[in-house]
């Protein structure tokens, strides 16, 4: 398929914006800074966020112009009646980096998500998580699916390579959808967007707040790359999609951190705006809090462009239901 735009940054800024007409309402559980919500809002679905971290709530309210309740979600939390529920229950209990305590970890957000679906009975719900969940926690994952089926939903899940959905980054996520028949996942592109296309002129300038790596850090990176037999230096390559952005490799000064190597050999960390572009946040979206907090919000987010493509299909599904109700 031919790319439907010439300039990625223009496409991003023109596509991920909030329309004045939004016929449906969603609850976003574990909303973070609102990456997932932003894609849904752009597709015409108003969102209400629930999130416990103050900076995230501030970012969400400021940009989405929507409510974000600052609260710790539990199975007791009450929600309003809405058309759909979306959200990414915390994935630390299941990620490869964590200890994989899974279902017994008190941070596990699935019980609260299932309870919310049970109480609200939305027309459709969407849950995103780490790609390894179905394999690495097979039994628990099957239990979750069975609980959702028992609530009366057809449950489908798929691991998505987000780079095939206009996200300039190699990032894979699991998406689980519960519906009552007739929902279709979005189809992948045959092309990929590179980091260079997404960053545009940002990389040709040295920003005022540039943070350069120290010689000791350069030395550490060289040793790390030699020891781990890293085939490609982990600097950002502008001619291909970026590596997965995470809170760890954005917010922490580790050997794995995202950085750009300048023609003079110096390396600088990518800025908050560059990280936001690689996660497909439009330029008008501003993050609250310290730099570390902003990087964490970005690394944790669902890329809004992917969320938009998924939400467009969800909206089609809701439109069809509405059409059928009118026909009756
Ligand atoms: C992976 S992030 C969500 C990212 C979000 N979907 C986005 O696209 O920006 C998970 C979020 O859940 C929040 N969280 C974790 N446990 C929570 C709880 N019990 N109640 C409310 N928020 C919680 C964390 O603070 C974090 O911001």
What pLDDT tens digit does each residue of the chain (328 aa) get? 678 899 999 999 999 999 999 999 999 999 999 999 999 999 999 999 999 999 999 999 999 989 999 999 999 999 999 999 999 998 666 665 555 565 667 789 999 999 999 999 999 999 999 999 999 889 999 999 999 999 999 999 999 999 999 999 999 999 999 999 999 999 999 999 999 999 988 887 888 888 898 888 888 888 888 888 776 778 999 999 999 999 999 988 777 889 998 888 889 999 999 999 999 999 999 999 999 999 999 999 999 999 999 999 999 999 999 888 876 6
Which of 91, 127, 230, 247 is an active site residue?
91
Cβ of 77: how many Cβ atoms within 10 Å? 15
Binding pocket residue ranges, ligand 1, CB within 6 Å:
30-36, 50-53, 56, 72-73, 88, 90, 109, 300-302
Q: How far is the CA of 74 from the centre of ligand 1 (A)?
A: 12
Output the six-digit token pair for 99.
């200890």
Rounded to an integer, what distance in angstroms lies between the CA atom of residue 25 and that of residue 296? Answer: 27
Would you call 57 a catalytic residue per the annotation? no
In terms of Cα–Cα distance, which of 183, 171, 191, 187 is closest to 11? 191
| 38 sits in which H/E element | helix 35-42
Atom of ligand 1 nearest to the CA of 36: 8
- The answer to whether the beta carbons of residues 264 and 217 sit under 8 Å apart is no
Q: Count the residues in the chain.
A: 328
CATH topology of domain 8-189+302-327: Rossmann fold (3.40.50)
Residues carrying CATH 3.40.50.150, the chain: 8-189+302-327
Buried residues in 114-139 as b, exposed as e (16+ CB within 10 A): bbbbeebebbbbbbbbbbbbbeebee
Residue of the CA atom closest to atom 13 of ligand 1:
30
Q: Give the pLDDT of residue 289.
A: 98
- The answer to whether the beta carbons of residues 117 and 178 sit under 8 Å apart is yes
- The answer to whether the beta carbons of residues 240 and 193 sit under 8 Å apart is no
Q: How far is the CA of 60 from the centre of ligand 1 (A)?
A: 12
* Dihedral angle sign, alpha carbons of residues 178, 20, 300, 229: positive
Rounded to an integer, what distance in angstroms lies between the CA atom of residue 197 and that of residue 149? Answer: 42
Q: Give the pLDDT of residue 283.
A: 97
Rounded to an integer, what distance in angstroms lies between the CA atom of residue 38 and that of residue 45? Answer: 9
- The answer to whether the beta carbons of residues 26 and 84 sit under 8 Å apart is yes
Q: Is 127 helix (H, G, I), strand (E, B) or coil?
A: strand
Atom of ligand 1 nearest to the CA of 73: 20
- The answer to whether the beta carbons of residues 259 and 224 sit under 8 Å apart is no
- The answer to whether the beta carbons of residues 47 and 25 sit under 8 Å apart is yes
């Amino acid at each position: 398929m031919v790319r439907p735009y010439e300039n990625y940054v223009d496409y991003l800024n023109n596509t991920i914006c909030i329309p004045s007409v939004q016929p449906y309402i969603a609850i976003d559980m574990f909303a973070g800074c609102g990456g997932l919500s932003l894609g849904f809002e752009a597709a015409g679905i108003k969102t209400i966020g629930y999130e416990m971290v103050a900076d995230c709530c501030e970012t969400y309210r400021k940009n989405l112009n929507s409510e974000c309740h600052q609260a710790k979600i539990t199975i007791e939390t009450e929600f309003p009646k809405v058309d759909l529920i979306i959200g990414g229950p915390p994935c630390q209990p299941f990620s490869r980096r964590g200890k994989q305590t899974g279902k017994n970890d008190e941070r596990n957000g699935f019980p609260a998500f299932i309870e919310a679906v049970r109480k609200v009975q939305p027309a459709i719900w969407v849950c995103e998580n780490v790609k390894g969940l179905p394999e690495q926690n097979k039994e628990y994952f099957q239990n979750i699916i069975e609980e959702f089926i028992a609530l009366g939903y057809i449950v489908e899940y798929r691991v998505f390579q987000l780079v095939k959905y206009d996200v300039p980054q190699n990032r894979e996520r699991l998406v689980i959808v519960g519906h009552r028949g007739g929902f279709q996942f979005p189809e992948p592109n045959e092309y990929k967007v590179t980091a260079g296309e997404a960053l545009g002129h940002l990389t040709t300038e040295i920003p005022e707040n540039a943070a350069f790596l120290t010689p000791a850090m350069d030395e550490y990176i060289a040793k790390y790359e030699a020891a781990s037999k890293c085939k490609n230096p982990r600097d950002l390559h502008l001619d291909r999609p970026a590596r997965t952005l995470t809170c760890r490799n954005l917010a922490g000064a580790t050997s794995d951190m995202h950085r750009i190597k300048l023609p003079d050999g110096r390396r600088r960390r990518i800025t908050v705006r560059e990280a936001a572009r690689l996660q497909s946040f439009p330029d008008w979206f501003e993050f609250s809090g310290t730099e570390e907090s902003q990087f964490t919000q970005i690394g944790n987010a669902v890329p809004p462009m992917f969320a938009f493509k998924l939400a467009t299909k969800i909206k089609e599904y809701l439109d069809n239901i509405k059409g059928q109700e009118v026909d009756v």
